[in-house]
Chains A and B, each alone.
Chain A
Amino acid sequence: MSEITPAEWTAILLSLRVAVIATLVATPFGIALAWLLARRDFWGKSVLDALVHLPLVLPPVVTGYLLLLSFGRRAPIGAWLADNLGVVFAFRWTGAALACGVMSFPLLVRPIRLSIEAVDRRLEQAASTLGAAPWQVFATVTLPLALPGILAGMVLGFAKAIGEFGATITFVSNIPGETQTIASAIYSLIQTPDGDAAAMRLVLVSIVIAMAALIGSEWFARRALQRLHGN
């Protein structure tokens, strides 16, 4: 099989950039939400939980269309962000990152929530009797003990983000060099008469990235167990 072409490299690098940014921006929100769901009881908790998982079960085209309706250039949130912060999502790579972030959010939150739930609350109580304020308990006990789970969630979210297709193409279309990720490049290539070889190269690249991410996630999950047992 021949070399990867510059156009294909563009799609690969764009995919990596979109997935990395989506994961990094989503993680703080993911941790906050996972902590809320794991540690707090409040009115509407099950609704919030369902809302977080919604992108997992909705048709991706629906999520993409909803993003277009709210973050498009003339949509309420999109117009406000463009006018006040100069942030534009529509038909930009930033929009692809937003779509990937939203679509991978449930996969990011779940391992983090599980790892926070696994942190022994009695250790948190012990920390508070030693003088740690609630935020210090979180920073010095909960977060470090949940860290492997957080990393596992990030890797899983990244893997999902890099393979996202439906919401991205609906929201920001399929523009080479701007919003054409690996997935949408493959989609274009298999509709082109001589695109098979190029499509196959990108298919292999996406399998390699996804496998690496899943193996990484598994490795972090094992580390989490060791850490919780204090060895």
Chain B
Amino acid sequence: MLRVDITKQLGDFALEATFTSEGRVTGLFGASGAGKTTLVNIIAGLLRPDRGTIALDDTVLDDTAGGVHVPPHRRRIGYVFQDARLFPHMNVVENLDYGRRMNRLPDDPVQQKRVTELLDIGHLLDRRPGKLSGGERQRVALGRALLSKPRLLLLDEPLGSLDEGRKVEILPYLVRLRDEANVPMVYVSHDPAELRQLATQIVMLRDGRITALGGVKVLTGTMA
């Protein structure tokens, strides 16, 4: 369970968000500039809130009143960025194994095999990121985040940089991930159709404020 209650001022933009997510996939919905990425960066620990608290299950990650700020590398929160951000000097296997090495987790060939099969990236393992298509890169980024064994997975418009054809290619993997990976997710998108397929709960964001909370039916009437 993720509990968020924060404010953050960035220049003229003010973000104020309070919500609790319990579902498997919380869809963070809003137009660009609504503050979705800022909110996700705060949850990941890449930005510090000006005021408020963030807690995951029974761990407090941020508490400005108590002076608590757990740095990103100790949060165990996976993050899939819109632009994949694979390490260009490592091949796919090394990228996938990075989180395990940094967290000093024991080797887990079963999990590795499961994730590479789930995402269909077994044939890419010895390639460099420069030799991958956009869709392949995004699948490897998903696998890399999953294999760091996160307690929560943040996905910031993971289909945002892909064309329609590629989106259709990746969506089924995301559905499989939701149903099989057993990691709660926060999924950021400005596309209601995407969220209807994936999300179990919606947080709607507009100009830095939450305007609606609830099931996917709160998306009814929103523009595609």
CB distance from A37 to the nearest CB of B (A): 23
Stretch at the interface among A10-18, A85-93, A121-129, A204-212: A121-129
Known: A125-B46, A130-B102, A130-B148. A231 touches B128 (CB 8 A): yes
Measured CB to CB, the residues of B under 8 A from A are: 44-46, 71-79, 81, 83, 85-89, 98-99, 102-103, 128-131, 144-145, 148
Report whether A144 and B145 are in contact in the complex, using a CB–CB cutoff of 8 Å: no
Report whether B46 and A227 are in contact in the complex, using a CB–CB cutoff of 8 Å: no
Report whether A122 and B130 are in contact in the complex, using a CB–CB cutoff of 8 Å: no
In the complex, which residue of chain B has the Cβ closest to the Cβ of A147?
B89
Report whether B88 and A128 are in contact in the complex, using a CB–CB cutoff of 8 Å: no
Report whether A132 and B73 are in contact in the complex, using a CB–CB cutoff of 8 Å: yes
Known: A122-B81, A230-B130. A128 touches B89 (CB 8 A): no
CB distance from B124 to the nearest CB of A (A): 13
Measured CB to CB, the residues of A under 8 A from B are: 120, 122-123, 125-134, 136-137, 140-141, 144-145, 227-231
CB distance from A189 to the nearest CB of B (A): 48
Report whether B102 and A136 are in contact in the complex, using a CB–CB cutoff of 8 Å: yes
Main secondary structure on A side of the interface with B: helix
Report whether A122 and B85 are in contact in the complex, using a CB–CB cutoff of 8 Å: yes
Report whether B145 and A130 are in contact in the complex, using a CB–CB cutoff of 8 Å: yes
Q: Which of B74, B87, B88, B144 contacts A229 (CB 8 A)?
A: B88
Report whether A128 and B46 are in contact in the complex, using a CB–CB cutoff of 8 Å: yes
Report whether A128 and B72 are in contact in the complex, using a CB–CB cutoff of 8 Å: yes
Known: A128-B71, A129-B44. A122 touches B89 (CB 8 A): no
16 contacts between A and B (CB under 8 A): A122-B83, A123-B88, A125-B72, A127-B102, A128-B71, A129-B44, A129-B46, A129-B78, A129-B145, A130-B144, A130-B145, A131-B74, A131-B99, A131-B148, A132-B98, A229-B88
Known: A136-B102, A231-B130, A231-B131. A126 touches B81 (CB 8 A): yes
Report whether B99 and A130 are in contact in the complex, using a CB–CB cutoff of 8 Å: yes
Taken together as a complex, chains A and B put the C-alpha atoms of A136 and B104 apart, in Å, by: 12
CB distance from A225 to the nearest CB of B (A): 11
Please provide the 7 A-B residue pairs with the shortest distance between their CB atoms, ordered closest to farther: A230-B88, A230-B130, A130-B99, A131-B102, A131-B103, A129-B79, A126-B85
Taken together as a complex, chains A and B put the C-alpha atoms of A74 and B89 apart, in Å, by: 50
Q: Which of A130, A134, A137, A145 contacts B89 (CB 8 A)?
A: A145
Taken together as a complex, chains A and B put the C-alpha atoms of A230 and B128 apart, in Å, by: 6
Known: A127-B102, A130-B144, A130-B145. A144 touches B89 (CB 8 A): yes
Report whether A131 and B73 are in contact in the complex, using a CB–CB cutoff of 8 Å: yes
Residues of A within 8 A of B79 (CB): 126, 129
Report whether B128 and A129 are in contact in the complex, using a CB–CB cutoff of 8 Å: no
Known: A136-B102, A141-B87, A144-B89. A129 touches B72 (CB 8 A): yes
Q: Which of A131, A227, A228 contacts B76 (CB 8 A)?
A: A131
In the complex, which residue of chain B has the Cβ closest to the Cβ of A132?
B102
Q: Which of B46, B83, B98 contacts A130 (CB 8 A)?
A: B98
CB distance from B18 to the nearest CB of A (A): 24
Taken together as a complex, chains A and B put the C-alpha atoms of A227 and B45 apart, in Å, by: 29
Chain A CB within 10 A, most for which of B75, B76, B85, B99: B85
Taken together as a complex, chains A and B put the C-alpha atoms of A25 and B122 apart, in Å, by: 45
Given contacts A127-B87, A127-B102, A230-B129, 20 further A-B contacts (CB under 8 A): A120-B85, A122-B85, A123-B87, A126-B85, A126-B87, A129-B72, A129-B77, A129-B78, A129-B79, A130-B98, A130-B99, A130-B145, A131-B103, A131-B148, A132-B98, A133-B73, A140-B98, A145-B88, A231-B128, A231-B130
Residues of A within 8 A of B87 (CB): 123, 126-127, 141
Taken together as a complex, chains A and B put the C-alpha atoms of A145 and B88 apart, in Å, by: 8
Residues of A within 8 A of B77 (CB): 129
CB distance from A219 to the nearest CB of B (A): 18
Residues of A within 8 A of B85 (CB): 120, 122-123, 125-126
CB distance from A162 to the nearest CB of B (A): 31
Chain B CB within 10 A, most for which of A129, A133, A136, A231: A129
Report whether A228 and B78 are in contact in the complex, using a CB–CB cutoff of 8 Å: no
Residues of A within 8 A of B44 (CB): 129
Taken together as a complex, chains A and B put the C-alpha atoms of A134 and B148 apart, in Å, by: 17
